[in-house]
Structure 1
Amino acid sequence: MFPEKQATRDADHQVRNGHRVPAIRQFLNVIGCALAIPLYYLTTAHSRYPVTLDIIITIAFTELNRYVIEGCRMAFFGQHQHQRDGRDTPDEIDEKAAIYSESQPEPPRLECLAAVVGWREDPSLYARALESYKSSSACVFLLAGIDGDDAEDQDMARVFKKIYPEQSAVIQIPEPFGEVAERVRANVIAQNRHHDHPVDDQEADAITMKYCIELAKGILVEHNLRIGAPGGVRHLCLKQRHMHKKGIMFTAYVFSLVIADILGVEFLWSSDSDTIVFPDSLERTINTIAADPGAGGASSGLVVHNSQETTITKLASAVYWGELYLTRSTPACTGTSDCQSGPSTAFRLAALPEILIPWYLQKALGKRMIVNEDRHLTTNLLLRGWKVMFASDVLTATDTPTTMARWLKQQVRWARATHIESLLHPRVYATSHPLLFYGMAKREFGPAIGAIAIIWYFFTSQQLVVFSMSDLLLRVVIGSCYNIVRNPDRLTGEGLLWVVPSILFYYIPLPAVHLWSMMTMGADGWGTSMRASGERARRESLKKAWFETGFFVVWMGILSGVLAKILGLYFGIVWHERMAAIIVSSLLGSFGAWSITIGAS
């Protein structure tokens, strides 16, 4: 059931697992990072139009990324064509050339295993998500992971069996593999210390990973699924005791390694239970890395499939269209995309065995981390010299929060993960192109400076940063025009009406989200509840609500006060009247923010 693979493939995996970025390259990367600091300073502090200049630079990098990923696809199809032409005339190849050809690694196969994980998902949405994989020709095996085995979790298993009634199976995992890995690794380290052997983390990780893989093989053999055989299982659902998303991802990835080895598949597509793929989402994301053995991962662009549900989803959809498409492209043109988005990620399976254990057991600020799973996977790839691509011209549809409170919680959770990976793993900048550091500096320092400047002005009336309305307006016009022409997500006329409001919707809370998430990096709550009716009905405590969105209430009070102060100075209102206007405006702003977040939850 578990045939041996070609020696060339095993050798390739060993080479890649042993690969590290050369010291001279790391030195040059550090020099490049040092040069990025004055470059960023010159494009901001010494420019009359810093925001406009920034969007022009971002557009240039976005276009370069489009050029790079198209080149990757051309390389893949060229390689495939060369192999096919070589097979057309075997009689013309002499014996020596034939032997040489047979000794070369197999070309990349555009087939993948898809792993879809979730917990207490809305049944109708989960059904749509699973159904969408039927249209993908690249998906040869579907692995669904359910993080929960209580009565409330059976809906997802029933949906899975309904969508895939044939060649499918549901397996109950006796113990989450994350817990198994943690226990085995601790035992390995304890034994080494008991025998006074030096503790080698990489060796402990390798032993733990091998144990988990053998355990997964045993479970598959026990259930006699006949994977890879005619009529065998092609759709498998794994259930385990509820932990968290990272826990079910780890279990699913271990099983994916085993199943992919049986099928001879080289790529894994990873997604969430609320994500809907298009017919070409998997194939066109994977073919950006298929021809390059040094490319370990890629992700696609995202659109919102529930954009018409509420006003918040319409605004969020326009944010995805206008902002995320551009901002994610900046470092990606050098193969250093710093976030493989959870809903739409592809991996070269050869890259996973070495990184899964350190990824799952990550600690930051003295705590185990469970909410930054996608970013930390990306960081682990970059630290080991793998390229990470962003297929910006490929789309996958994801779900977005329907209320302001849930949207803010999601943004804070994402921002915390960004801070942790950007600030607490400085070694990644030595192993990656300096453009990764440049993108980090712009993302981390820009909103923080803006937040501090606004708060400073509110309390002192002193300007730390000069904002130019013409600069901001020009930035909006240039960014919107570019997106209309080049964005693969073609907005309708109605959708375009939400573009300008979405800019305010995104950028007004951004400095506060950035500052609050930085101050609370160690918080490990998921923030938003799952979409199953039982989870949505649960109300959170007032204390928790204030912790998660109270910063927005305070921030809107400050912004409203700043606006009143500016208008008071402009119209020359006397001091005591201006102070009264500031107080009233701040109270109204805070009340409005409270009513759409804490008050509405």
Structure 2
Amino acid sequence: MEVLKFFVSTGRRVLTIAFALLILVVLAWAYIAGVQLVADQYRIMAFGLYGAFLTAHLAVQSFFAFLEHRRMKRESLTCSYTKTVALTISAYQEDPSYLRQCLESVRATLYPPEKLRVIMVIDGNSPDDHYMMDMFQEVFAGEDVGTYIWENNYHQQPLPGGEDGAGSCQGLAVEELIRSKRCVCIMQRWGGKREVMYTAFRALGNSVDYVQVCDSDTKLDPWATVELVKVLEFNEGYGAVGGDVRILNLSDSYISFMSSLRYWMAFNVERACQSYFDCVSCISGPLGLYRNDLLQQFLESWYNQKFLGTHCTFGDDRHLTNRMLSIGYATKYTARSRCYSETPAQFLRWLAQQIRWTKSYFREWLYNALWWHRHHLWMTYEAVVAGVFPFFVTATVLRLFYGGSLWDVLWVLLCVQLVACVKALYACWLRGSPRMIFMSLYAMLYMGGLLPAKYFAIATMNKSSWGTSGRKKMVGNLMPLLPLSIWGLLLLGGLGYTLSQEAQDNWTSQVKQAELGYLAIGTAIYLGYWAIMVLLYWVWIRRCCRKRADHYSVQVFATIC
């Protein structure tokens, strides 16, 4: 039997690797060969095989996302209310208003109090951090509350002559408190988010059935926990489930508004599609639920993760998800469980966040590849396509900008915007909200900001100093702007080169006259589109968001929006 399992496992590995290589080779060939499927008589406008492949990918992804949403609507899952849940909150220098909203929403969670524990671990034990513990005590006044200020943590040694953190009296006191009290707040020595999460997980041990993760800037829907529990109770093969994360401060700025649309697409299209195949790539930190017995199995290896010899200090949630996938359990997504989380409203802080996420994405991509064979082939396919997509986009943009043709530059801009519009229209239909049409504006934010930032993230993957800071601090590091500046110079250089080449061409020829017509029409369409969308944004979104901001309230949704 063991021999048979070995051959089956080896066979799956070989087939999965072969499938991944096939996808990569087909993508590369379609791109390099530049096979044109449709073109005009002058071959000025063309639609190639590579473009057809990406179009098909988006269509298939959208189709399976729709099927998953339909399944979520039709399934009537039940909750037994017998499972014990520990709701863990990771806190670091949180804005008091966001923290209060988080704690009050946790207290309002509609799950039996005798089955629900609340543990908030604060990353820092200085006097400046005490306001978070004070607020915890205030919000949960009247509950079975316990608090403790730990001078150290599980992995950082105290002063010489003291006791080791793992075996100290303080460490045992923390474990006893968390296992005996319903609502516990721990302040500990600074060590990063993974250290905070580890403290909660380890101190809980096997005392609960499920562990829910939550960030201190997150406002939970009252039914969020119940809906997550329903999914894990439905199938023992599900190891973890994530919910729908919406943006709490979408009216703060253009960046936060665009993030709200991007979040919806990421969860309700991309992760919904992954959930159809039981392989969600990341259970997001603001809202996720894990089987505790499984989590305890890989807790130490999760915490001690290293990359190129360096201890990993970011990408905690993605690696936690990967660990669950690595032992063969499915990961799911449900739009019935919902929360609202803060997102950066300033460009520099948003950029720092995206760089940190990109670092963890590519690092975890390599780890995730080790376990493709244990899950559906969609996991392999999507990982390959998503992994190489930024590089193909970069090559395409540079090739066209330096191709010596103004129409090529305009054509790539039009194609990018066209694809973005199609995705946005689909999102409008799926969500039932015309506001999703503004998702088409995200394409420029991706091309101008996020794309070059990905290369900076790869180059600094082992650097942990350029992450998102606590809400009480401003991001002052301007280093992430460097790749954007280089990218801008490259594009300007290409545009200048193209203009110089075009100036030497004979514009009286028949082909150039046709191209001139395309340029005039394309430019009018592109500029007209942006003028209309910007006007709509300022007239509709900005004014409406400002009016609603004062009356914002979290509503309980019985159906998926």
Which residue number in structure 2 is paired with residue 252 of structure 1? 200
In structure 1, distance between residues paired with 2:400 and 2:244: 38
Do the aligned partners of residues 28 and 554 (structure 1) sit closer, same or farther apart at CA in structure 2, a change above 3 Å counting? same
Matched, 1:133 2:100: no
What amino acid is aligned across from residue 514 of structure 1 in structure 2? K
Which residue number in structure 2 is paired with residue 59 of structure 1? 62
Instruction: Please state how far the C-alpha of 1:554 moved relative to its aligned partner.
Output: 1.5
Do the aligned partners of residues 26 and 429 (structure 1) sit closer, same or farther apart at CA in structure 2, a change above 3 Å counting? farther
Deviations 1:481-535 (A, max 9, x none): 2212223xx65x6x44633323322343232122222222211225222112xx3
Which residue number in structure 1 is paired with residue 478 of structure 2? 545
In structure 2, distance between residues paired with 1:501 and 1:382: 34
Do the aligned partners of residues 466 and 240 (structure 1) sit closer, same or farther apart at CA in structure 2, a change above 3 Å counting? same
In structure 1, distance between residues paired with 2:308 and 2:341: 31
> Is the Cα contact below 8 Å between 2:228 and 2:242 reproduced in 1?
yes
SS in structure 1 at match of 2:219:
coil
SS in structure 2 at match of 1:521:
coil
Matched, 1:151 2:84: no
RCO (CA 8 Å, sep 6+): is it higher in 1 or 2? 1
After TM superposition, the structure 1 = structure 2 runs for residues 361-380 of structure 1, keeping only pairs within 5 Å, are 361-380=304-323
Which of 446, 450, 474 is equivalent to 1:506?
446
After TM superposition, the structure 1 = structure 2 runs for residues 412-491 of structure 1, keeping only pairs within 5 Å, are 412-455=355-398, 472-487=416-431, 491=433
After TM superposition, the structure 1 = structure 2 runs for residues 158-307 of structure 1, keeping only pairs within 5 Å, are 158-166=134-142, 167-179=144-156, 219-221=174-176, 227=180, 233-258=181-206, 261=207, 265-307=208-250
Matched, 1:395 2:338: yes
Instruction: Please state how far the C-alpha of 1:346 moved relative to its aligned partner.
Output: 0.7
Which residue number in structure 2 is paired with residue 204 of structure 1? none
- Name whichever of 441-450 and 319-328 sits farther off: 319-328
Deviations 1:13-67 (A, max 9, x none): xxxxxxxx97515632541442244346657643553442222011022124335
What amino acid is aligned across from residue 436 of structure 1 in structure 2? M
In structure 2, distance between residues paired with 1:214 and 1:281: 36
In structure 2, distance between residues paired with 1:214 and 1:344: 32
Deviations 1:94-132 (A, max 9, x none): xxxxxxxxxxxxx78455221011111011110111111
SS in structure 2 at match of 1:545:
coil
Do the aligned partners of residues 169 and 573 (structure 1) sit closer, same or farther apart at CA in structure 2, a change above 3 Å counting? farther
Instruction: Please state how far the C-alpha of 1:352 moved relative to its aligned partner.
Output: 1.0
- Name whichever of 44-53 and 428-437 sits farther off: 44-53
Instruction: Please state how far the C-alpha of 1:360 moved relative to its aligned partner.
Output: 0.4
Which residue number in structure 1 is paired with residue 38 of structure 2? none
SS in structure 1 at match of 2:484:
helix
Instruction: Please state how far the C-alpha of 1:477 moved relative to its aligned partner.
Output: 3.6
Do the aligned partners of residues 573 and 130 (structure 1) sit closer, same or farther apart at CA in structure 2, a change above 3 Å counting? farther
> Is the Cα contact below 8 Å between 1:296 and 1:351 reproduced in 2?
yes
What amino acid is aligned across from residue 31 of structure 1 in structure 2? L
Which residue number in structure 1 is paired with residue 19 of structure 2? 35
SS in structure 2 at match of 1:512:
helix
In structure 1, distance between residues paired with 2:404 and 2:99: 52
Instruction: Please state how far the C-alpha of 1:451 moved relative to its aligned partner.
Output: 1.7
Which of 287, 309, 316 is equivalent to 1:344?
287
> Is the Cα contact below 8 Å between 2:397 and 2:412 reproduced in 1?
no
Q: Runs of 5+ in structure 1 lacking a partner?
A: 1-20, 81-106, 181-186, 188-207, 228-232, 575-601
- Name whichever of 404-413 and 21-30 sits farther off: 21-30
What amino acid is aligned across from residue 241 of structure 1 in structure 2? R
Do the aligned partners of residues 48 and 376 (structure 1) sit closer, same or farther apart at CA in structure 2, a change above 3 Å counting? closer
> Is the Cα contact below 8 Å between 2:246 and 2:340 reproduced in 1?
yes
What amino acid is aligned across from residue 429 of structure 2 in structure 1? V
Deviations 1:373-403 (A, max 9, x none): 1111111111111111122453321111111
Do the aligned partners of residues 63 and 515 (structure 1) sit closer, same or farther apart at CA in structure 2, a change above 3 Å counting? same
What amino acid is aligned across from residue 240 of structure 1 in structure 2? Q
- Name whichever of 560-569 and 496-505 sits farther off: 560-569
Percentage of identical aligned residues: 20
Do the aligned partners of residues 276 and 30 (structure 1) sit closer, same or farther apart at CA in structure 2, a change above 3 Å counting? farther
Which residue number in structure 2 is paired with residue 409 of structure 1? 352
In structure 1, distance between residues paired with 2:248 and 2:361: 25
**TM-score using structure 1 length:** 0.71
In structure 2, distance between residues paired with 1:286 and 1:374: 19
> Is the Cα contact below 8 Å between 1:300 and 1:394 reproduced in 2?
yes
In structure 2, distance between residues paired with 1:280 and 1:518: 39
> Is the Cα contact below 8 Å between 1:50 and 1:471 reproduced in 2?
no
- Count matched residues: 473
Q: Runs of 5+ in structure 2 lacking a partner?
A: 32-48, 158-163, 507-561
What amino acid is aligned across from residue 312 of structure 2 in structure 1? M
Which residue number in structure 2 is paired with residue 592 of structure 1? none
What amino acid is aligned across from residue 310 of structure 1 in structure 2? S
> Is the Cα contact below 8 Å between 2:23 and 2:384 reproduced in 1?
no
In structure 2, distance between residues paired with 1:566 and 1:285: 54
SS in structure 2 at match of 1:328:
helix
SS in structure 1 at match of 2:384:
helix
SS in structure 1 at match of 2:214:
strand
How well do the aligned residues superpose, as a CA RMSD in angstroms?
Answer: 3.4
Which residue number in structure 2 is paired with residue 123 of structure 1? 96
Which residue number in structure 1 is paired with residue 552 of structure 2? none
Instruction: Please state how far the C-alpha of 1:472 moved relative to its aligned partner.
Output: 4.0
> Is the Cα contact below 8 Å between 1:26 and 1:431 reproduced in 2?
no
> Is the Cα contact below 8 Å between 1:454 and 1:562 reproduced in 2?
no
> Is the Cα contact below 8 Å between 1:132 and 1:276 reproduced in 2?
yes
In structure 2, distance between residues paired with 1:246 and 1:386: 22
